[in-house]
Chains A and B, each alone.
Chain A
Amino acid sequence: MKTRSWFLVGAALLVTAIVLVLPLLIVFVEALRRGAGVALASLADPDAVAAIRLTFVVVAIAVPINTVFGIAAAWCVAKFRFRGRGLLLVLIELPLSVSPVVAGLVWLLLFGAQGWFGPTLSNGDIQIVFALPGIVLATLFVTFPYVARTLVPLMQEQGTEPEEAAILLGAGFWSLFRRVTLPDIGWALLSGVLICTARALGEFGAVSLVSGHIPGLTETMPLHIETLYNGYQTAAAFAMAALLAAMALLTLGAKALLEWRIGRTLNVAGAFT
């Protein structure tokens, strides 16, 4: 029994090492193979800087929007019983099951030059596809579920009694939300926002379709990595990839730290009950 469990643990560790750790290591090794100087220089390239800036802008727009709507959706689904609730739950999960490429195609179909609203948009001189709005829309779609999904189970478990207690004490909607609901989901919300950020940083498929790959203009970091790699600029591609990976790792690390802290406060609370 004991040997078998050791075998299982060992196998799991091995698979993790090969599938998850090794690729990450290779990215960093490749990036630094010709020295940190070369890697840094490639990141200072104007197109690279533009890609990094665009990525940050997209994240800065998409994550707050999805946070607000994620909270709203989770609140509705977790605290109320209404017709269509099941449908809303499924819709929240939709972006997880639909390929991002399909999502990108939908935006093209709607807003592209040959799309439904294409003529209207070009008449009004509004550019959505192959520009920032399209990239943001694609990112919004793909990263929508993360905040809501982190919150729904927690909010469901917390139930509606604290809210009802607050209402009976005279609380209106905003003081209820600000003083009771929001503080109660605080840490989980932050954790959901972080995973949403990590996902928004790395989104490739949907963004790739609507961005048009214009270097220096509509390329986010993942897209720029592909361009560099296809152009045989391996070192620069890996340097950018390492930067992207490091950013994702930092976000994940922050999330893990948060969860560890929540777990610890919960344990402390548990000791008193």
Chain B
Amino acid sequence: MSVELHGIERRFDGQTALRGIDLEVRQGEFLALIGPSGAGKSTLLRVIAGLEPGHGGTVRINGQPVGHLPARARNIGFVFQNYALFRHMTVAENVAFGLRILPRARRPSRAAIAARVADLLTLVQVPELGSRTPAQISGGQRQRVALARALATEPSLLLLDEPFGALDPMVRKDIRAWLRDLHDRLGLTSIFVTHDQSEAVELADRLALLRDGRLEQVGTAEALERHPATPFVTRFLGDSIAVSGTVIGGRMIPDHPAVLEFAANRPDGRVMALIRPYELKLQPGHGARVLAVRRAGPHRRVTVAWASREAEILLPWDLPAVSLGDDVQLDISEARLFSAEQDLPPAAPGLATAALQQSPTA
């Protein structure tokens, strides 16, 4: 089942939550909507589900516009962040809900519903929980039950709002892999919202990065990492070190001599380079100094100071060791270059800060 979004807009009390989103989700795809809090991810998911009737733009499912279809008629599986299980029903009753309320003509018999519920609970690997209530099961189990409930009416589109947000890290890892496997086995098309970029990179076929109600970039994790459309994309996907400079005649000349110049296929002008801590290399030279060397898993974590700034970089163990007090220069030839204007702060500065705080340690 494919989903096409065209010019999606949503305003709440004069505040714009979504501004002209165009996005296509292919049949069978597992797409992650990522972005800082308040970027509009959940709102976009709710627009697709039909829970935000006041939006602008067109939603097409399998090529058909669904604007006129209320949420109840779209047959979309939806898993809420806090699962939204029905408290007063048992797990089995929760899962059976979508089938029990079908019009009599299409409703399966009691026995058929019971069999389907048992199948679904087996599918989500909690066959023994049918007679419990939601309050009596763990977070991970609730997540699975919510998924079974969403799958009961055999939707081919599955929407998940922060599906792993409320789980502890151990359970989260398990459920991630299992969910991806389930998606592939059932041939679903899935869209999930997360603010955790590592989760998205690990799980999704493609990522759609939202920022301040706009779509910043869509693509595979690889594409976003290699060819980021804006500095924000690189910053959101992981730690980065920024170096400013000027491109003159095909060479990037950093402002500070501690950073080596390198070839850059760009028109002349001011630029900003962003580089990952593990892409930066050190060479003997002058201008920068090694302040600390620590072991960090398969890497050495090296603190380097130049000009009046410090940065932590990660060097593989097999490179020649650097030691405390060494004079070095920085090789940033693997950096992504952006024109200096691209790095202007976004319209709402608060959001940018949130984005930077959330970019996790890689």
Contact = CB atoms under 8 A, between A and B. Distances in A.
A168 B78 contact: yes
A114 B81 CA distance: 61
Contacts of B136: 269, 272
A168 B69 CA distance: 12
B137 A168 contact: no
A161 B137 contact: no
Tell me the interface secondary structure of chain A in the complex: helix
B80 A169 contact: no
Interface residues of B: mostly helix, strand, loop or mixed?
loop
A165 to B, nearest CB: 4
Contact of B135 (A162, A169, A186, A269): A269
Contacts of A273: 135
A186 B71 contact: no
A168 B72 contact: yes
A169 B84 CA distance: 12
Given A168-B49, A169-B101, A170-B72, A161 B135 contact: no
A180 interface: yes
B209 interface: no
Nearest to B133: A269
A179 B88 CA distance: 9
A186 B87 CA distance: 12
A169 B153 contact: yes
Nearest to B136: A272
Nearest to A81: B13
A165 B78 contact: yes
A171 interface: yes
A164 interface: yes
Contacts of B149: 165, 169
Interface in B82-136: 82, 84-89, 97-98, 101-102, 133, 135-136
Nearest to B74: A168
B313 interface: no
**Which of A170, A183, A270, A272 counts the most chain B CB atoms within 10 A?**
A170
B137 A272 contact: yes
Contacts of B101: 166, 169-172, 175, 179
Contacts of B75: 170
Interface of A: 161-162, 164-172, 175, 179-180, 183-184, 186, 268-270, 272-273
Interface of B: 49-51, 70-78, 80, 82, 84-89, 97-98, 101-102, 133, 135-137, 149-150, 152-153
Closest 5 CB pairs of A and B: A269-B135, A161-B84, A169-B98, A165-B84, A183-B88
